[in-house]
Amino acid sequence: MHELGIAFYIIKVVERVAEDNKVTSVSKVSLELGEVSGVIPKELADCWKWAVKKKELMKDAELLIEKITALTYCESCENIYETVQHGRICPHCGSERTYLVQGNEINLKEIVAC
Q: 92: annotated binding-site residue?
A: no
Q: 47: annotated binding-site residue?
A: no
Q: 90: annotated binding-site residue?
A: yes
H helix or E strand, kind and range, residue 15:
helix 2-20
Binding-site residue numbers are: 2, 74, 77, 90, 93
Binding-site residue numbers for Ni(2+) are: 2
Binding-site residue numbers for Zn(2+) are: 74, 77, 90, 93
